Amino acid sequence: MRPNQVIKLCITCGKKFSIKASHAKKRKKCSRACSISRIKRICPVCSKEFTVPKGLAEKGYGIHCGSKCYGKTMIGTTRPRGIKQQISKTLSLLYSQSPKFFKKCLTCEKDVRIIKSNCKRKKYCSKKCYGISNKGKQAWNKGIIYTQILGNKHWNWKGGITKLTSYGTIKIQQRKARMTNNGGEFTLEEWEQMKKDFKRTCLSCRKTEPEIKLTIDHIIPVTRGGKHQATNIQPLCKPCNSRKYTKIIRYEHS
């Protein structure tokens, strides 16, 4: 026995067990099995006496002593349905209730019963018919080497657009370079004065600040050689500016 330990007697089974002196007052049972309150029962098949936890007995479990005795009682009867079987039953009910109509198979020309949601996709009655229709056809990716469809050769290529942060910075640098090549200067003071002149309104949708946020829009876009100066700039809100895109439109101020 270890130091600072006390020997006690279990209340339920009467066995001796060692425990720490600090836990001696609280602990009265030797194990978890003894701590769970159990009920004595007799098996209806083999008439053997056995114990069942009180919680399980209240739920209706623990009638038989084991699986063998339970199996003997279940001979000639159907087993209770499990969760998977219940789900399959509900799905089959939904399938039967859903609206259906008939469609001809493309190979054997038999009438196939189909749900309304699958009417566009389903074209064959079985996998055999699908296999017969595709026999002799070449796969789309047969003979294509992976390196042949990389980068701008790929059919989903969108001009090198990516979600990386470096892509945005490169595009800003390119735009700045185009502005410097096109020429022209436009200061922050000029921009503030322009907003005051146009009464802080968007020239396209006629909404005012602070309802919208005004942005610099080039009448002749920078990509088309437009200069970055006051004569080529007009105040537009973000949605109107993006809607204009690369069109040359001069909105008149009323």
For 23-47, how does the pLDDT look when each residue is reduced to its tens digit (9 = 90+)?
777 777 887 777 777 788 888 888 8
Which domains can be identified in the chain, with CATH numbers?
Answer: 5-35 (no CATH), 41-73 (no CATH), 100-132 (no CATH), 183-254 (1.10.30.50)
pLDDT of residue 202: 92
DSSP 87-150: HHHHHHHHHHHS-EEEEE-TTT--EEEEEGGGTTT---SSHHHHHHHTTTPPPTTTT--GGGGS
Which pTM does this prediction carry? 0.35
Contact 124, 133 (CB under 8 A): yes
Comparing 37-51, 88-102, 109-123, 176-190, the range with the smallest average pLDDT is 88-102
Is residue 218 predicted with pLDDT exceeding 80?
Answer: yes
**Mean pLDDT within 170-178:** 73
**What percent of the chain lies above the pLDDT cut of 90?**
8
pLDDT of residue 235: 92
